[in-house]
Structure 1
């Protein structure tokens, strides 16, 4: 009988310890966040990703009550920052804005995709455009295409890292226009592309508007078209590529991700903060200023969107010879 009571006592003590640990863990999660949160951005400051990520982080930190520490980690088509998030502790203190989470695995850059991460949401998308130095003679995409067709492989185009969005947009433009360009990949998210174009070192470039605004204002570059079938709000003076008869739909998707396995209270807190930030008027204004498209997908809706975008990217990657 004594042995039985002893066994019951041990079991009760163990249960009490387990319960105590669980209560403490639950209390810690409920108190999230208790310290600053690292917010990785996969491109350099001033890039399209940076221009959309910073205002999102600022708005989210107001909701969460803790600072968001921005860390720019450019390189390897955005996968340096992506790997950092994937390998981090799933406690909600390491987040990342990802551009290639849904297709980097398809090209062999990483052994995982967005389904191996926690997708908080998809705030916005960036639209690439075709720019030329101000002293080049072409005033329209059609004039540029006619010149390129007469000199296959001669015109030099600066764009981003091989396999990145703007690089894929460049290859899609080549295909739809039936031209051959001398494609020169630049490091980073587009700032170097603009530098090359503004300096007249290349004949054209493909990148986003955020990196280009200062040079547009300075009059050193001009945009001939923006990719897609509709003009970008706030930049209606720039024609859509489809207006010239060339179909190339490439949207630079931005997803906010965290490590897989976030505790439910932490995930819910981040989702609430993201939703409040990404669907608000302040973020609408920020996205419009960068020439982007606000999406605002949260949770399962965001995962579904990334699944769909992976399907969109597959033929582009196949055409470029990158699909693994």
Structure 2
């Protein structure tokens, strides 16, 4: 932001200091008029947040301390996320801030400079919204990872499985030249792949030996349990793109095989969603090179042979080609987590 704009924002902050009570009163009147916060508890929460916003605006921006102001924005965003406040509602309420002080600016700023002052404050608000949005969804991402980690915590032998598989899958996607949005979503949703294991009995999940046919059939249910869980989150919405669609694809289909002999649907080839085909290899490599209740870890070199041998049967040949091109990086990741029962 240019120095002249920072100076204008400093002027506005000093103006807000003189009219703080009026701005707050105006904001409350707008909220009542629009009736978007019918819940009194929610209204109290937003009032506290708005008071914090004005206080930070006056305290930090009157001293031209933008960094401190933005830090306060991030703290507000974390509170919004942790208290499960709807993000769209938060942004609407934030925009009412602009309306609450509009007349004060018009009455106190010279007419020939008003557009410049409004522009400077708009730039500030755009940055605020960007920070709030980034922080809000970062908190949500961390929450999702924590929930996914519940399944992993039931099986201590798979320590860091979520971290490794998300790194492996991103390596494959990057090597395949997939777009940044797909790769980012893959990284975010990958940890959800085994969330359905929370519905599998410990006697099966942690069994130290080979599963019986009956037990194996029950273990296979974790893909369906996980998909049903995610489906409830989106309340039956028709998804065409984005986070939850990719999550559902991976959760349901990461145990499908390219030759159609996988589960739960027996999909063949490119009927299997691309994200699931990628994650199938990442998950398999991690299983091969890790200690599990029923097996010892296998070395990286042997893992390469096994995966290469399953190209076109278990795995998509294009994904295998990507793996062979970056297998050394797979080994680096494997070694990074070696203390977690890994043999690389």
Relative to the length of structure 1, the TM-score reads 0.24
- Give the structure with the higher percent helix: 2
Higher relative contact order (CA 8 A, sep 6+): 1
Relative to the length of structure 2, the TM-score reads 0.23
Larger radius of gyration: 2
